[in-house]
Amino acid sequence: MSNYVQLEKLGEGTYATVFKGRSRTTNEIVALKEIHLDAEEGTPSTAIREISLMKELKHVNIVRLHDVIHTETKLVLIFEYCEQDLKKYMDTHGERGALDPGTVRSFMFQLLKGTAFCHDNRVLHRDLKPQNLLINRKGELKLGDFGLARAFGVPVNTFSNEVVTLWYRAPDVLLGSRTYNTSIDVWSCGCIFAEMITGVPLFRGRDNQDQLLNIMRIIGTPDERVLRKIAADSPEIQLKQYPRYPKVPWQQVVPKASPQAIDLLERLLQFDPTKRITAQEALMHPYFTTPAAPLYGQPQYPYPQQAAEHAFSTQMADARQQQQQQQQQQLAFQQQQMQQMQQPSGPPNQYYTPSGQYAQQYAQGR
């Protein structure tokens, strides 16, 4: 720790305390996440998981892990420093917590970029919420706190259903599913999207059952077939009779949202996890790819508007380039499959993926 100076305490979590710090060698401001080690239990599994995953995840919308320092009494993770999290940002810069449309669109795009990168690298964050999304002076949003994150393989493993802070937890997880996949992060993104627009959490349950009923009161009670399909993947789920709530029009739930924003929100917040849009698909939604609707009120960026627009346009260009590359990979994969099918020596290769979303990536040997 001799290379870093503690400046002030930023916060305290379940197993760690975070300080603002400064590097003695570079004068760079950093975040120091101190994890105190138990003499008997050793290093917490959450810390090991966070370190192993974040060493591999290098992306502008994921907080960067600079270094790890290990002593007899504590483990210190050195992260890039961000001035505040999204929750504090909304409280400080929003109108009763609600952000202006330009800010919402920029932050939502960056949230989906970081999430899509995690999913492309077979990582589930599993705890996306405003408090775990960090904002720096340049208006860059970064995914942080990967203590609950998990790598997933082929097929998707069975996980614990005690994931994601209650208000951002997907209904299939609330039901008790242990075979979830990337769709649980997509649901959390939808909840955060609505919260940025309205300034208040969308679903505020007291416990699992109350949270599930709150979801049904807004998006409607799903068809019995949907419930049975979710339960079929997880035998431990015990279904019960739920009140038949009609769906509330999204225009009433988020009255200030544009039609394109409402369409994206509805695609993110599907009760059936197989119906939810993927993070990569969401990036190409018209909400991002068409000119923005007229703003209600002036943008409230705490940094130059030109910088925000430049960052957004750059990210859009990157997304279009990435989509073209994926289309080319998919075409090449299909051509390869056709060639193999025409060969009499044996059956074509088969690839199994959790939801069919990443066939071309697995085909390329990722």
* SS3 at position 282: helix
Question: Of the listed 100, 120, 127, 172, which one is catalytic?
Answer: 127
Contact 150, 124 (CB under 8 A): yes
- DSSP 8-class letter at 183: H
Q: Report the run of H or E that residue 242 belongs to, with start and end.
A: none
**Quick one: CA torsion of 57, 60, 62, 65, rounded to 10 degrees?**
70
φ, ψ of residue 157 in degrees (nearest 5): -75, 170
Q: Which of 202, 70, 178, 81 minimizes the C-alpha distance to 136?
A: 81
CA distance 79 to 88: 19
* C-alpha neighbours within 13 Å on the C-beta side of residue 311: 23
| Residues 118 and 62: beta-carbon distance below 8 Å | yes
Residue 127 bears catalytic tag: yes
Assign 40 to helix, strand or coil: coil
Place of tokens 């209650």: 166
Is residue 74 a known part of a binding site? no
The two structure tokens encoding residue 309: 């627009």
Active site residues: 127
Residue stretches of the annotated binding site for ATP: 33
> Which residue positions form the known binding site?
33
